Chains A and B, each alone.
Chain A
Amino acid sequence: GQQVMQIPQYQHVQEGEDFTTYCNSSTTLSNIQWYKQRPGGHPVFLIQLVKSGEVKKQKRLTFQFGEAKKNSSLHITATQTTDVGTYFCAGPSFKEKSSGDKLTFGTGTRLAVRP
């Protein structure tokens, strides 16, 4: 079945350093979504990328969708303690009837920031 892997699994950075998480899907995706889950919290939607090679920015966060639409990355410039949490990528499943409503979540990257 469809698999979505993320690396690294965990990263610990000094505040002010940059951070990148990479997402790789076993199948081509029509779009990729990114979610952030704070410790003890629930996933919160950050962004959706649709076009091949698309790049979107949200303040210090830069999201990229690969040319082949099978991979994506999230880069945070100059991390802050508020960036702490787990970042998940997610792509839609289209294997079966009604499955277009479903997302396959990546394995997640947990970010810790030393103040």
Chain B
Amino acid sequence: DAMVIQNPRYQVTQFGKPVTLSCSQTLNHNVMYWYQQKSSQAPKLLFHYYDKDFNNEADTPDNFQSRRPNTSFCFLDIRSPGLGDAAMYLCATSRRTSGGPEQFFGPGTRLTVL
């Protein structure tokens, strides 16, 4: 089945220790997104790619970086995680169409910062 896969599902890191989260998709969608979601809140968009065109949100901290080496894969790098970065990180994809297409979410990676 076509899907969005995130690894790992749970990640524990230490304060300040870099961490990379990965996302892959078999949907062949040209748009990929990274969201941060904290408890009882809506998903907050960090950045998205349309193909290789990177789009950063104005309020995304520099601590968060992303790479998309090909259509199928996208990575989220947190260079120096702080306690406030503990959250669920959701990857999503969509196929670009006019008027805002539906998004397909992966299961998420829950990040704990010690």
Q: Is the CB of B102 within 8 A of A101?
A: no
Are B105 and A48 touching (Cβ within 8 A)? no
Q: Is the CB of B43 within 8 A of A43?
A: yes
Residues of B within 8 A of A108 (CB): 40-42
Q: Does A85 have its Cβ within 8 Å of any Cβ on chain B? A: no
- Chain B interface, number of residues (Cβ within 8 angstroms): 26
Total cross-chain contacts (CB, 8 A)? 61
Which of chain B's residues have a CB closer than 8 A to the CB of A107?
42
In angstroms, how far is the closest chain A Cβ from the Cβ of B35?
A: 9
Q: Is the CB of B100 within 8 A of A91?
A: yes
Residues of A within 8 A of B105 (CB): 42-44
Q: Could you tell me which A residues sit within 8 Å of B by CB distance? A: 30-31, 33, 41-45, 48, 50, 88, 91-93, 98-103, 105-108, 110
**Measuring CB to CB, which residues of chain B are less than 8 angstroms from any residue of chain A?**
31, 33, 40-43, 45, 48, 50, 53, 55, 90, 92, 94, 96, 98-108
